[in-house]
Chains A and B, each alone.
Chain A
Amino acid sequence: MNSMNNIERVKEIVEKVAKVRKFEQIDKFQIAFEIEKNDVHQTLSALKLAGWKQLSYLSAIDWIETSKFELVYVLFNWDEALYIQIRAMIEREAAEMNSIISIFPGAKYYEREAHEFFGINFPGNPDYHKQLILENWDDIPPLRKDFDPSVYSDRKFPKREYSVDYSVKDPENKSFEKIKEREKRALSLRTGGQKK
């Protein structure tokens, strides 16, 4: 089956179970559907039955201006060369999404990761709140857009201090002039001491 038919087939499957808000064809092998939060589970299980039985990735995007998180589920099929992205918007405040571990058990760790880095809750996943990658994290989740990594770094990690004479902004620093002198001399040697 070629990929064009495939896309039509997937569209049919998805439209049967969910209200598609937006369809996007990213390239020949990737398509994306934006659907309602409540339709995600049905869509994923329908696609799983149709052969997209591996969840490649679950990720989140922080749209801070509109105060939303976008969840992206990427599905992979071992027989057809077509990736499917299922996207759903959820509220940013008290973000919550029902777990999909009943459909894809491997999502357990992706959900824990999303909880750790974005603070999204996944009721239905028994240990989504456990720490996975960060240890003893003590600030707001680090991949939220309102988290400032350099402020955190300045606060937590001692910085090396350099004395000013290493700085090129130092007015006393004559090293640029010295380099110029050296270059001039190198040039004069190259031309045998003659000016060109």
Chain B
Amino acid sequence: MKSTKFTPVPLTKAETDKKWWEIGDFFRRNSLWLLMYCTGCCAIELPPAMTSAYDMERLGMGPMATPRQADILLVSGYLSLKTLRRLIYTYEQMSEPRYVVALGSCPINGGIYHDSHAVINQLDQYIPVDVYVAGCMPNTEAVMNGFVDLMDQIKHKRANGWKKYHENYSWYKANQITSLGEVDVHDEFHE
């Protein structure tokens, strides 16, 4: 008679890893912690998104105070050269996997600051962006929709910005250096 005993099929290392990633992604996408880098006016959409009006908490999202424990870097609005330096610094401190959500038309193509001497035009030249939310400013429904899109992307393994950053590190660094000159932060108040 054939045995009814369950014999597990041995998995390869890659397969086991994949399973663990799926489990990890499930928990990760249901408890996302945001690091809010409120650079521009789009940040005004966050209070309604976080408080009882739209209540981000019901999606399992919450604010986080430090980059090392956050999952999402939320760039809300325009980035001047000076803030871009600090943003790259912050992004590189975050632990992986890390996702970037950019709000507003300013990080997409410069928005109303497209011809300014101080504001960059396209954020994804410097760090990889997973979700863009268009609008100037995007309304809160759009912001929430952006977060749901990000969860969807994580579920379907499409939120790969942080991997791209590893693969194309030299390309990103070259772009950063063209626009910034020097990426390291030097200022007299911190040295």
Contact = CB atoms under 8 A, between A and B. Distances in A.
Nearest to B180: A136
Nearest to A136: B181
Contact of B182 (A133, A136, A142, A157): A136
A84 B110 CA distance: 39
B178 A159 contact: no
Contact of B115 (A142, A147, A150): A150
A147 B181 contact: no
Nearest to A139: B117
Contacts of B181: 136, 138
B82 interface: yes
Contacts, number: 53
Interface in A130-166: 130, 133-136, 138-139, 142, 147, 149-150, 152-153, 156-160
B66 interface: no
Interface of A is mostly: loop
A139 B85 CA distance: 19
A134 B82 CA distance: 7
Contacts of A136: 180-182
Contacts of B81: 134-135
A160 B121 contact: yes
Q: How large is the interface on B (under 10, 10 to 19, 20 to 34, 35 or more residues)?
A: 20 to 34
Q: How large is the interface on A (under 10, 10 to 19, 20 to 34, 35 or more residues)?
A: 10 to 19
A149 B116 contact: yes
B188 interface: yes
Given A135-B81, A135-B82, A153-B121, A159 B110 contact: yes
A135 B85 contact: yes
A160 B187 contact: no
Interface of A: 130, 133-136, 138-139, 142, 147, 149-150, 152-153, 156-160
Given A135-B82, A157-B179, A160-B122, 14 more contacts: A134-B118, A135-B186, A135-B187, A136-B180, A139-B117, A149-B115, A150-B115, A153-B110, A153-B114, A153-B116, A158-B125, A158-B178, A159-B109, A159-B121
Interface of B: 81-82, 85, 108-110, 114-122, 125, 175, 178-182, 186-188
7 contacts: A135-B82, A139-B117, A149-B116, A153-B110, A157-B122, A159-B110, A160-B108
